[in-house]
Amino acid sequence: MQMSYREALRRAMTEEMERDANVFLMGEEVGEYQGAYKVSSGMLEKFGPMRVVDTPISENGFAGVGVGSAMCGLRPIIEFMTWNFSLVAFDQLINNAAKMLYMSGGQFPVPAVFRGPGGSGGQLSAQHSQSLESYYVHCPGLIVVAPATPRDACGLLKSSIRNDNPVIFIESEVLYKLTGEVPDEEFTIELGKADTKREGRDLTIIAWSRALQFVLDTLPQIEKEGWDPEIIDLRTLRPLDEEAVYRSVKKTNRVLIVEEGWPQASVGSHIADLIQRNCFDYLDAPVLRVHQEDVPMPYASNLEKLSLPNPVKIMKAVGELMS
């Protein structure tokens, strides 16, 4: 059936809360207000205030409650109104959620999902338009997921809720209204597995989350030039499906990485390093990257578009790879 990205997330949470009484949702405005982006619409009425819990504006506090409840056997879904606000809870995520299993000698798993909107949001300015996935990918003990389609959002969130490790689940703020086909029957998608969105032979384009949409928007121009790209959606950033990346690179011999994040010490720079260390003999050109400009996100709409990846930047990079 056709379903929006936000509806797919709601379906995943609803099905998992129906399946397991230990699963509950907690965060700012998830209940009475139906979610800041209406992802949890109707869930308070369905599950009640003990399982759909409105919290104060205190990310560090309710993230800590989530970690503690997971240690005690529950399976919390903790929603940040935006991942920009997760920086207030950084200590809980990095020093408690990610390290508890290791520091307790395997006694305390933390089966918690921390989710909410991330990336640029459309004239929300510098403090509210940040792609922070590289912050969390850097930390061992966390799983990091960044779905780009409604189907992947649903299947990956269900797998994340069932996982016994803390999961950082970053939803693109501008994809909530995106619609796509989602299977009618219940399904899950394995974490750590990339998806080849398009088979091709001339070059590999790697993306995730909203960056995949930038690539798909540019695809008609790429095809018009006669080039046949293979497009890989990583979906999970930690663990990373290195084998899917290497397999594609060895076939196409050229690589472009497109991401919303800043260039320095990013997920894309890590992937470029992996490719050049493991596929160097297969490369016919240097690995290229298209990313946000190395500046805080501007507020003005025209400057925001110039700062982000766009078809002009992607076509320029593809042309350089294919020349």
Mark whether 59 is an active-site residue: yes
* pTM, 2 dp: 0.96
pLDDT over 90 at 120, yes or no: no
**What is the per-residue pLDDT for 51?**
98
* 78 bridge partner residues: 26, 114
**CATH architecture of residue range(s) 2-181:** 3-Layer(aba) Sandwich (3.40)
**What is the per-residue pLDDT for 122?**
84
**What is the per-residue pLDDT for 272?**
98
Cβ–Cβ contacts within 10 Å for residue 40, how many? Answer: 26
114: Cβ contacts below 8 Å, ≥ 6 apart:
63, 66, 78, 80, 86, 93, 97, 166, 167, 168, 169
Domain residue spans of the chain: 2-181, 195-322
pLDDT over 90 at 6, yes or no: yes
Active-site residue (options: 16, 28, 79, 128): 128
Q: Are 223 and 258 in contact (CB under 8 A)?
A: no
Q: Residue 276: phi, psi to the nearest 5?
A: -70, -20
The pLDDT tens digits of the residues spanning 224-276 come to 999 999 999 999 999 999 999 999 999 999 999 999 999 999 999 999 999 99
User: SS3 of 184, please?
Assistant: coil
Each as own residue / partner, the long-range contacts of residues 183-187 (CB below 8 Å, 24 or more positions apart, any chain) are 183/151, 184/1, 186/15, 187/154, 187/155, 187/158
**CATH architecture of residue range(s) 195-322:** 3-Layer(aba) Sandwich (3.40)
Active-site residue (options: 16, 28, 59, 259): 59
Q: Do domains 2-181 and 195-322 have the same CATH topology?
A: yes
Instruction: For residues 151-163, give the mean pLDDT.
Output: 98
**What is the per-residue pLDDT for 125?**
86
Mean pLDDT for the chain overall: 97
The pLDDT tens digits of the residues spanning 171-195 come to 999 999 999 999 999 999 999 999 9
